[in-house]
């Protein structure tokens, strides 16, 4: 009898979850310091993030603390993140900082700037193999941004102002 | 009234031509060199205050032209490997010429004085040239640092034979399994076709 109840509870629980498909990426490692957590990914563990079809629009920005134009446009991504509801738009900031700089540069930067968007580290040194998988036309310079929803995928190798970024986002809402 | 019409017409023409000039320079920057193109020579100031051109190297069989700079962690990660490339291939006829394409106004670390300093600290064995006015890198189509162009000297000029990264591991030279630049030059020295002609890499965007 107890087993039956448990089974029913489990079924209800899982069917409840079904509509809200969360895709958890398996990080290869997580950097933790000063209350900031940054998961580290190879391209293999990162790639599923580019192929989620749950109706949510994802704004994925490739940046690094050493990249001035990237740092200059980060506030616009943060603004998008705070202005749009979580279930509609997700902003993911993909840092290409060197792993040896995560604790000395990246984490202090995230903490100081109070970054609210999700920050992950993409650490895959064989860039020639994965850059074309992000977009065939990407030369590898940053900032670069992907905005996608389900099967509609847009790639931008450029900097944005807030208005430009929001305009591109709205095309995919 | 007639003068007004003429004025409007003139203004219109100026606006159109300004737009056209803008367009042309845009496409030039976007294009850059492809494999097989002839690279134009340059005359750029070296850290010893002399000017360096490709034509100065009478004995060279070709060149390893590397757009690099001081401030970029990816460039810094490759500095020792750039020195090794120069030491290995200069005697074989392929010297390294490093060019800093950045505007020091955008990156003070990349000023001419800081180039001299960095070269001394690391013991650069090759010229480290300053693309003053940021005129050379758009001709090549370099978009980031480090960005390598291997040129082969031929009777027709310096032909672009390889464009891209130094190897396939920016973090750790000993873990690199593909040494693109080395392989390209070894192939050229043997009179063979370069095995991998174009590669992509993450780098620091060049800031004019």
CATH number for the domain that contains residue A66: 3.40.30.10
The ipTM assigned to this model is 0.75
Average confidence (pLDDT) over B150-178: 96
Put simply, whether B148 touches A (Cβ < 8 Å) is: no
Q: What is the CATH number of domain B34-205?
A: 3.40.30.10
CA B35 and chain centroid, separation: 14
| Domain extent at residue A153 | 36-170
Within-domain flag for A31: no
Contact A128 B73 (CB under 8 A): no
Which residues of B are less than 8 Å from A138 in CB distance? 200
Tell me the residues of A at the B interface, defined by beta carbons under 8 Å apart. 64, 66-69, 96-99, 101, 123, 125-129, 131-132, 138-143
Within-domain flag for A89: yes
Which of A82-91, A158-167, B15-24 has the weakest average pLDDT?
Answer: B15-24
Report pLDDT for A9: 46
Which of B16-20, B58-62, B69-73 has the weakest average pLDDT?
Answer: B16-20
Contact B164 A128 (CB under 8 A): yes
Within-domain flag for A27: no
Whether residue B70 is predicted with pLDDT greater than 80 in this model: the reply is yes
Report pLDDT for B8: 56
Whether residue A119 is predicted with pLDDT greater than 70 in this model: the reply is yes
Q: B30 to chain A: nearest residue by CA?
A: A139
Distance CA A50, CA A129 (A): 16
Give the domain ranges of chain B: 1-31, 34-205
Q: Tell me the average pLDDT of chain A.
A: 88
- pTM for the full predicted model: 0.81
Burial of A82 (0-12, 13-18, 19+ CB in 10 A): exposed
Report pLDDT for A142: 92
* Nearest CA among B159, B53, B164 for reference residue A127: B164
Q: B196 to chain A: nearest residue by CA?
A: A128
Judge whether B137 and B103 are in contact, CB under 8 Å. no
Report pLDDT for B119: 98
Within-domain flag for A132: yes
pLDDT confidence tier of residue B5, bands split at 50, 70 and 90: low
Of the candidates B73, B144, B178, the beta carbon closest to that of A140 is on B144
Within-domain flag for A28: no
B126 three-class SS:
coil
Average confidence (pLDDT) over B83-95: 98
Judge whether A63 and A97 are in contact, CB under 8 Å. no
Percent of chain B clearing pLDDT 70 (strictly above): 86
- Work out how many domains chain A is built from and give that number: 1
Contact B171 A98 (CB under 8 A): yes
Whether residue B74 is predicted with pLDDT greater than 60 in this model: the reply is yes
Ramachandran angles phi, psi of A141, nearest 5°: -85, 150
Which residues of B are less than 8 Å from A141 in CB distance? 143-144, 202-206
For A139-153, the pLDDT digits (tens) are 898 999 999 999 999
Which residues of B are less than 8 Å from A132 in CB distance? 200
Judge whether A66 and A97 are in contact, CB under 8 Å. yes
């Amino acid at each position: 009898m107890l087993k039956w109840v448990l089974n029913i509870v489990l079924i209800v629980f899982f069917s409840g979850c079904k509509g809200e498909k969360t895709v958890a990426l398996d990080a290869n490692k997580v950097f933790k310091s000063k209350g900031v957590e940054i998961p580290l990914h190879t391209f293999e563990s990162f790639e599923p993030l580019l192929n989620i079809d749950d109706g949510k629009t994802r704004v994925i920005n490739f940046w690094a603390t050493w990249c001035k134009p990237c740092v200059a446009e980060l506030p616009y991504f943060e603004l998008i993140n705070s202005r749009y509801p979580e279930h509609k738009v997700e902003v993911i900031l993909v840092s290409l900082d060197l792993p040896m700089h995560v604790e000395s540069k990246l984490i202090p930067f995230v903490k100081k700037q109070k970054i609210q968007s999700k920050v992950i580290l993409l650490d895959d040194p064989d860039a020639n193999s994965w850059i074309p998988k992000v977009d065939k036309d990407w030369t590898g310079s940053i900032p670069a941004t992907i905005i996608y929803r389900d099967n509609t995928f847009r790639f931008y190798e450029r900097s944005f102002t807030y208005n430009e970024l929001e305009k591109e986002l709205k095309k995919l809402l | 009234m007639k003068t007004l019409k003429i004025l409007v017409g003139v203004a219109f023409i100026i606006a159109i031509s300004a737009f056209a000039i803008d367009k042309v320079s845009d496409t030039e920057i976007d294009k850059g060199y492809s494999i097989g193109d002839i690279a134009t020579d340059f005359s750029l100031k070296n850290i010893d205050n002399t000017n360096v051109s490709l034509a100065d190297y009478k004995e060279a069989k070709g060149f390893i032209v590397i757009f690099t700079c001081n401030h970029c962690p990816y460039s810094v990660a490759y500095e020792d490997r750039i020195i090794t490339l120069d030491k290995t291939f200069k005697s074989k006829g392929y010297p390294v010429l490093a060019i800093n394409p950045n505007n020091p106004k955008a990156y003070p670390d990349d000023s001419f004085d800081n180039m001299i300093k960095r070269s001394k600290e690391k013991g650069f064995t090759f010229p480290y040239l300053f693309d003053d006015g940021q005129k050379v890198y758009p001709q090549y189509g370099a978009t980031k640092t480090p960005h390598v162009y291997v040129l082969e000297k031929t009777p027709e000029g310096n032909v672009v034979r390889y464009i891209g990264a130094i190897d396939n591991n920016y973090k750790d030279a000993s873990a690199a399994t593909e040494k693109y630049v080395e392989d390209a030059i070894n192939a050229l020295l043997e009179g063979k076709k370069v095995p991998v002609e174009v590669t992509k890499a993450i780098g620091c965007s060049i800031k004019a």
